[in-house]
């Protein structure tokens, strides 16, 4: 499937895996077999030079057909050459009707390459080549009487019928195989999204799936845009854009609010048609995870339009995964956050401390903060006032710590701060700032109140683990408590 960005290398003559390639291989073998089976009849129906000429034309046709199958392409030059060789075979064969034995299989083979217009153009070339060979038939030595022009020309309308019928079959094959490949991409996307909760990984999976769907569906063009008053601001363009999308699409005006029924919005924008190189059927669906963001997708025909639905499905899958990811993130944050103060809780602090201690040479300090006289305020003013006091203390600690440090409430009136990149002296100076900040009066219902803070600081010594640093900070905190209110003690080994 088209999700790895690479396909296994296969020999051109090996049995292909895809339905379309299997059909191309079958039609190639049939046209070659038809030419081989009719070659004796065409070779023995005329003189020696004519027989050699027919053989050479058929051989060149076989080379052309094999080349088409091997390269998976049908060029205009090859179509012209095929028509000329068929015309030569008509001029050299007796009767010329024999050439239709492999000309019609050749039309079926050509119908499974390129666009419908190119297939009809090829049929027209073949008809012109066959008709052009008829005037030369009577000039070839060994041919007696005029060629049966009416019979040959009467078969040419059947050539167009054959091409149209073969192209209809090819179109159905293309649609079926593209649908299977798109379904595989969506299935693989859903399977991966079940195991991923990281937002960046989800977005990367979505982008890869979108590019795969676009690669599978020729003509499909999509863009992520943000709706503004000046038009749609393009964030990302994917697929068959023949010209780069401008930064802003002024004629793409999207609604301020997504449709209540959740259905896609139909768009008609000249700027989209111009960048795609043809008129398209454009639709837009809102991004459920980002206000004002939309996915625009469009395609020029019915077959490619099936890719629009696949693109919308992938977009919806990613949006649902992002919503789930955000829910997971909120739950993780909730599990790591103190509900009262919004600081990190004991589990989050312990995790940060273990992470800091995992680097043997990392220098850090731990400050344990225990509030003085908190119980007096809590008992006298009530638990609501006590909770407000704790929230104010938490806010002051958060404002006093440096960016990158971790401030946590361990429980009750106990707080802790993990200070990165400090030594004992600098950690002690930061702790003094904490004492000053926490000594300020706190406005509470019924009047202001004051509390102090006893802080114990321990700096990690070489070879110490996290548990030892915590024990030293705890010892220092009790030493500060014993020395009186608003004190800082730094552990000294």
- Residues marked active site are found at 413
How far lies 35's CA from each of 41, 58, 378, in Å?
Answer: 10, 7, 101
Q: What is the CA radius of gyration of the chain?
A: 39
Secondary structure class of 316 (helix, strand, coil): helix
Hey, how many other C-beta atoms are within 10 angstroms of the C-beta on 67?
Answer: 14
Interatomic CA distance for residues 374 and 413, integer angstroms:
7
Secondary structure class of 452 (helix, strand, coil): strand
Secondary structure class of 490 (helix, strand, coil): strand
The vertex-386 CA angle with 383 and 389, nearest 5°, equals: 155
> Under 8 Å CB-to-CB from 112, ≥6 apart: which residues?
20, 23, 24, 27, 166, 170, 173
Interatomic CA distance for residues 451 and 439, integer angstroms:
6
> Under 8 Å CB-to-CB from 305, ≥6 apart: which residues?
281, 299
Interatomic CA distance for residues 404 and 183, integer angstroms:
46
Judge contact between 232 and 254, C-beta under 8 A: yes
Interatomic CA distance for residues 88 and 137, integer angstroms:
9
Judge contact between 140 and 92, C-beta under 8 A: yes
Looking from the CA of 276 toward its CB, the CA atoms found within 13 Å total 25
Name the maximum alpha-carbon separation found in the chain: 129
Judge contact between 193 and 302, C-beta under 8 A: no
Do the strands 442-444 and 447-449 form a parallel or antiparallel pair, or are they unpaired? antiparallel
**Residue 310: cis peptide before it, omega within 30 degrees of 0:** no
Strands ordered across the beta sheet of 293-299? 248-249, 231-239, 221-228, 293-299, 281-286, 265-267
Do the strands 488-490 and 452-459 form a parallel or antiparallel pair, or are they unpaired? parallel
């Amino acid at each position: 499937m088209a999700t790895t960005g690479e396909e296994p290398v296969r020999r051109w003559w090996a049995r292909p895996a895809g339905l379309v390639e299997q059909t191309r291989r079958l039609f190639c073998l049939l046209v070659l077999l038809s030419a081989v089976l009719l070659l004796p009849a065409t070779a023995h129906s005329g003189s020696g030079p004519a027989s050699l000429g027919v053989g050479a034309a058929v051989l060149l046709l076989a080379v052309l057909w094999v080349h088409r199958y091997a390269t998976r392409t049908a060029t205009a030059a090859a179509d012209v050459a095929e028509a000329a060789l068929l015309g030569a075979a008509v001029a050299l064969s007796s009767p010329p009707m024999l050439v239709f034995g492999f000309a019609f299989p050749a039309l079926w083979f050509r119908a499974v390459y390129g666009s419908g217009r190119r297939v009809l153009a090829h049929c027209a070339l073949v008809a012109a080549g066959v008709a052009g060979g008829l005037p030369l038939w009577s000039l070839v030595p060994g041919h007696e009487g005029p060629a049966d022009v009416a019979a040959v020309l009467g078969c040419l309308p059947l050539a167009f019928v054959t091409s149209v019928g073969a192209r209809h079959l090819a179109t159905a094959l293309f649609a079926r195989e593209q649908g299977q490949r798109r379904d595989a991409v969506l299935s693989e996307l859903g399977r991966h999204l079940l195991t991923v909760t990281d937002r960046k990984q989800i977005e990367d999976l979505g982008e890869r799936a979108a590019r795969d769907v676009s690669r599978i569906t020729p003509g499909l063009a999509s863009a992520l845009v943000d709706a503004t008053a000046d038009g749609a601001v393009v964030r990302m363009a994917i697929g068959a854009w023949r010209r780069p999308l401008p930064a802003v699409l002024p004629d793409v005006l999207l609604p301020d609010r997504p449709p209540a029924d959740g259905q896609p919005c139909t768009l008609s924008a000249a700027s989209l048609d111009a960048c795609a190189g043809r008129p398209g059927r454009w639709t837009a669906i809102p991004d459920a995870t980002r206000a004002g963001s939309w996915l625009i997708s469009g395609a020029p025909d019915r077959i490619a339009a099936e890719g629009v639905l696949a693109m919308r499905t992938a977009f919806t899958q990613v949006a649902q995964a992002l919503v789930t990811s955000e829910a997971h993130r909120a739950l993780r944050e909730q599990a790591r956050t103190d509900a009262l103060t919004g600081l990190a809780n004991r589990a989050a602090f312990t995790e940060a401390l273990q992470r800091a201690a995992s680097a043997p040479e990392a220098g850090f300090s731990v400050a344990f903060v225990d509030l003085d006289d908190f119980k007096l305020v809590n008992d006298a003013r009530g638990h609501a006032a006590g909770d407000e006091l704790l929230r104010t203390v938490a806010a002051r600690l958060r404002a006093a710590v440096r960016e990158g440090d971790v401030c946590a409430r361990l429980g009750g009136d106990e707080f802790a701060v993990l200070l990165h990149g400090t030594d004992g002296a600098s950690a002690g100076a930061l702790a003094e700032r904490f004492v000053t900040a926490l000594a300020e009066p706190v406005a509470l219902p019924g009047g202001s109140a004051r509390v102090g803070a006893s802080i114990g600081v321990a700096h990690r010594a070489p070879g110490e683990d996290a548990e030892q640093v915590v024990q030293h900070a705890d010892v220092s905190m009790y030493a500060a408590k014993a020395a009186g209110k608003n004190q800082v003690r730094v552990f000294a080994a």
